[in-house]
Chain A
């Protein structure tokens, strides 16, 4: 037979344990949101330095907008939205960067093709005629 005091003690411990678990989980969610926002910021910085502002403005604007919304959600303690928006901002920034880089590579390849055509034409022009 347990005394009411012992029951109360057991219940308090149980509630305390639940609270600790919940706050730890909440801390984890905050850390996750923070980490994802930081990753998105880094991706956005790289994109901005890759020529994306000129070559992939729409993708970049989308990334910037979502990062801003993620930060706003975080400050409103809406961790779920903050995390998902940060994930989207990160991939959007990477797409912007890759878009810009693929355009750079395409331009360089086209210039190379043109110079090769000119080179081949010149070579045919100055080649000695076969006896």
Chain B
């Protein structure tokens, strides 16, 4: 009887281990680098500048994350960590490049406004100079007329 019970216990133990192994195989081990990479990519993709100016970098980051996810399913932790790190860094790269391009674009767009303002200021200066020249000419003509009048008066005496 005892040998029968021992066999049953061994069978139960074996079944338990098998179930645990099946359970372990279906849930990937939590990898902090992978969690961090997923969050980083979510944040980066929400940045409108990134979609506009750094689409290729984001594509690379997504590919690297996909490789990490696939490695996670195989429980290949070294590859998960490596590819997740690369994905995070590529996403950061995308953010920096997009930010620089957005700033450059804003400056380029502002150039035309600057040119208009400077052109208007130059025009005003020209107008002012012309008006001053006209005034000076008018004054000169008035003085000349006064001088002629005085000469004529002198001649009559």
A and B physically associate: yes
Residues of A with Cβ closer than 8 Å to B? 84, 87-88, 91-92, 94-95, 98-99, 101-102, 104-106, 108-109, 112-113, 115-116, 119-120, 122-123, 126-128
Does B86 lie within 8 Å of A88, measured CB to CB? yes
Does A95 lie within 8 Å of B96, measured CB to CB? yes
Question: B residues within 8 A CB of A128?
Answer: 124
Does B106 lie within 8 Å of A88, measured CB to CB? no
Query: Lowest 6 A-B CB distances belong to which pairs?
Result: A98-B96, A105-B100, A109-B103, A105-B103, A102-B100, A91-B89
Question: B residues within 8 A CB of A102?
Answer: 96-97, 99-100, 103
Chain B residue nearest in CB terms to A113: B110
Kindly state the separation between the CA atoms of A102 and B57 in the bound complex, as whole angstroms: 15
Kindly state the separation between the CA atoms of A115 and B118 in the bound complex, as whole angstroms: 12
Does B82 lie within 8 Å of A91, measured CB to CB? no
Check A92/B89 contact, CB under 8 A, given A98-B96, A112-B107. yes
Question: A residues within 8 A CB of B78?
Answer: 84
For residue A104, give the distance in angstroms from its CB to the closest CB of chain B. Answer: 8
Kindly state the separation between the CA atoms of A115 and B114 in the bound complex, as whole angstroms: 9
Does A95 lie within 8 Å of B93, measured CB to CB? yes
Chain B residue nearest in CB terms to A111: B107
Kindly state the separation between the CA atoms of A18 and B156 in the bound complex, as whole angstroms: 132
Interface of A (DSSP majority class): helix
Asked if B137 CB lies within 8 Å of chain A CBs, one says no
Question: B residues within 8 A CB of A122?
Answer: 121
Residues of B with Cβ closer than 8 Å to A? 78, 82, 85-86, 89-90, 92-93, 96-97, 99-101, 103-104, 106-107, 110, 113-114, 117-118, 120-121, 124
Kindly state the separation between the CA atoms of A113 and B107 in the bound complex, as whole angstroms: 8
Question: B residues within 8 A CB of A116?
Answer: 110, 113-114
Does B113 lie within 8 Å of A95, measured CB to CB? no
From B82, B90, B99, B124, give the contact of A106 (CB < 8 A). Answer: B99
The contact sample of 29 A-B pairs, CB cut-off 8 A, is A84-B78, A84-B82, A91-B89, A95-B89, A95-B92, A95-B93, A98-B100, A99-B96, A101-B97, A102-B100, A102-B103, A104-B100, A105-B100, A105-B104, A106-B100, A108-B104, A108-B107, A109-B103, A112-B106, A113-B110, A115-B114, A116-B113, A116-B114, A119-B117, A120-B117, A122-B121, A123-B117, A126-B124, A127-B124
Question: B residues within 8 A CB of A92?
Answer: 89
Question: B residues within 8 A CB of A123?
Answer: 117, 120-121
